[in-house]
């Protein structure tokens, strides 16, 4: 390769490769990307964890872990985990049913395009706007609440498990519904490729062997889809567990762990100290690490049946 062309290659890759004659100079093209992700992904994660294991004066300590003995923090962790689990299981089942139903639609038809787009919007565009929609639906004077009242004389908020914690929607039990609203689309996005990967030949094989629809699902569909199904379920757990915006827009009492983190921050940022949020971040990272490890194991099993 000529010196000039190598230099251009280096420049077009975003970095000035100074010594084009050297064979390894092209590697320098990765510098901007590496530097960016290092400074804005690795460093913040390390700093968050670091804040958890240092005292206010900056010395190393494990004392912050006493936060996990705090009853309200434990309760918030419990709420977060239970809510995410319930959301993951429910949306995995409902989403999987919808995925199978979508097989009836033409693969490149308008319905699939609309469902794909709507799923993407709803899956990543939740947050504040989703909270608004659910306040208008099942808040104290929401459309659904009023309809239940006028038609069945049932007060939605009287169904809340914790009567002292205000309206249903501002408790984890009520947040279940907005969380479902962004998790089912996520399930469709994550699970649809697996469902589409079911080969027609397998169905034909079952039919040739005299099997009906039930034996198809029992012996072919379910075993093949199982790893993708549980993998997608784990993904939903992870997304619900780390979701902040929806909960924060609904309530500012610290009932879920991400909201607790922000509250602790706003009482601490003045001094620039992030000890308690840091130690909670460690807790979240540990849970997410376990979850993502399980996800990768399942993905490896799922990969056998695809392609």
Partner 1 sequence: MSRRGSARVGAAPGRATATVVLVIAGLAFLYPLYALAAFAFQPVGQHSGFTLQHLKALTDPVRAYQYDQLWEGIQNSLVIALVTVLLMLVFLLPAMILAELRYRRVRQAIEFVCLLPISIPTVVLAVGFIPVYQVMWQATGSVAWILAFAIGIISLPYAFRPIQSNMAGVDMVTLQEAARSLGAGWFQTVWSVILPNLRRGILSSALLTVSVVLGEYTIASFLQQNTFQTGLALLEHADPYVASTFALAALLFVFIILVLIGAAGTIRRNRKVSTWSPSTATLPPVR
For partner 1, which stretch binds (CB under 8 A), given 25-33, 54-62, 71-79, 159-167?
Answer: 25-33
User: 145 phi and psi, to 5 degrees?
Assistant: -60, -50
For partner 1, which stretch binds (CB under 8 A), given 53-61, 62-70, 157-165, 199-207?
Answer: 199-207
Q: Is 83 in the site for partner 1 (CB under 8 A)?
A: no
Q: Is 186 in the site for partner 1 (CB under 8 A)?
A: yes
Q: Is 213 in the site for partner 1 (CB under 8 A)?
A: yes
Closest CB 77 distance from partner 1, rounded Å: 13
Q: Which of 6, 67, 90, 173 binds partner 1 (CB under 8 A)?
A: 6
Give the residues across from 54 on adjacent strands.
Answer: 60
Q: Which of 129, 154, 218, 223 binds partner 1 (CB under 8 A)?
A: 129
Closest CB 238 distance from partner 1, rounded Å: 7
If 0-12 CB within 10 Å is exposed, 13-18 middle and 19+ buried, where does residue 177 land? Answer: middle
Q: Is 144 in the site for partner 1 (CB under 8 A)?
A: yes
Question: CA-to-CA distance for 279 and 68, rounded, in angstroms?
Answer: 9
Structure tokens belonging to residue 43? 């460093």
Cβ distance to partner 1 smaller for residue 162 or 204: 204
Given a contact cutoff of 8 angstroms between Cβ atoms, the answer to whether 254 and 72 are in contact is yes
For partner 1, which stretch binds (CB under 8 A), given 26-34, 81-89, 153-161, 166-174?
Answer: 26-34
Given a contact cutoff of 8 angstroms between Cβ atoms, the answer to whether 289 and 283 are in contact is no
Q: Is 137 in the site for partner 1 (CB under 8 A)?
A: yes
Given a contact cutoff of 8 angstroms between Cβ atoms, the answer to whether 279 and 69 are in contact is no
Q: Which of 61, 140, 253, 299 binds partner 1 (CB under 8 A)?
A: 299
Question: CA-to-CA distance for 277 and 176, rounded, in angstroms?
Answer: 25
Given a contact cutoff of 8 angstroms between Cβ atoms, the answer to whether 187 and 94 are in contact is yes
Q: Is 67 in the site for partner 1 (CB under 8 A)?
A: no
Q: Is 267 in the site for partner 1 (CB under 8 A)?
A: no
Structure tokens belonging to residue 143? 């459309």
Q: Which of 85, 202, 226, 294 binds partner 1 (CB under 8 A)?
A: 202
Q: Which of 37, 66, 72, 267 binds partner 1 (CB under 8 A)?
A: 37
Tell me the per-residue interface mask from 221 to 260 with partner 1, x by CB under 8 A, - otherwise. Answer: x------x--xx--x--x--xx-xx--xx--------x--
With CA atoms as reference, report the closest residue to 189 among 86, 115, 240, 84: 115
Q: Using only the alpha carbons of the chain, give its radius of gyration.
A: 25
Q: Is 166 in the site for partner 1 (CB under 8 A)?
A: no
Question: CA-to-CA distance for 233 and 172, rounded, in angstroms?
Answer: 19
Q: Is 277 in the site for partner 1 (CB under 8 A)?
A: yes
Cβ distance to partner 1 smaller for residue 85 or 245: 245
Structure tokens belonging to residue 265? 């921050």
Question: CA-to-CA distance for 219 and 212, rounded, in angstroms?
Answer: 11
Give the chain's largest Cα–Cα span: 82
For partner 1, which stretch binds (CB under 8 A), given 64-72, 85-93, 155-163, 192-200?
Answer: 192-200
């Amino acid at each position: 390769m000529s010196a000039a062309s190598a230099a251009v290659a280096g420049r077009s890759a975003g970095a000035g490769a100074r010594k084009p004659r050297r064979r390894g100079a092209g590697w320098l093209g990765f510098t901007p990307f590496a530097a960016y992700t290092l400074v804005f992904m690795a460093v913040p994660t390390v700093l968050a964890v670091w804040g958890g294991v240092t005292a206010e004066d900056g010395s190393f300590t494990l004392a912050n872990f006493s936060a996990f003995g705090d009853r309200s923090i434990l309760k918030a962790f419990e709420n977060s985990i239970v809510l995410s689990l319930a959301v993951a299981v429910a949306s995995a089942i409902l989403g999987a049913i919808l995925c199978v139903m979508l097989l009836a639609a033409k693969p490149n038809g308008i319905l699939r395009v609309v469902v794909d787009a709507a799923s993407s919007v709803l899956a990543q565009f939740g947050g504040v706007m989703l909270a608004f929609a659910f306040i208008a639906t099942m808040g104290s004077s929401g459309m659904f609440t009023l309809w239940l009242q006028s038609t069945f004389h049932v007060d939605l908020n009287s169904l809340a498990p914790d009567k002292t914690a205000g309206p249903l929607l501002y408790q984890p039990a009520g947040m279940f519904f907005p969380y479902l609203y962004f998790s089912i689309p996520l399930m469709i996005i994550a699970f649809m490729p697996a469902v589409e990967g079911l080969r027609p030949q397998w169905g034909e094989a079952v039919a040739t062997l005299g099997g009906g629809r039930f034996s198809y699902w029992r012996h072919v569909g379910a075993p093949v889809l199982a790893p993708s199904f549980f993998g997608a379920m784990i993904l939903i757990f992870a997304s619900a567990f780390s979701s902040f915006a929806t909960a924060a827009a609904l309530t500012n009492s610290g009932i879920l762990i991400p909201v607790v983190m922000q509250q602790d921050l706003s009482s601490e940022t003045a001094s620039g100290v992030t000890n308690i949020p840091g130690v909670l971040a460690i807790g979240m990272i540990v849970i997410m690490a376990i979850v993502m490890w399980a996800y990768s194991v399942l993905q490896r099993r799922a990969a056998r049946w695809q392609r």
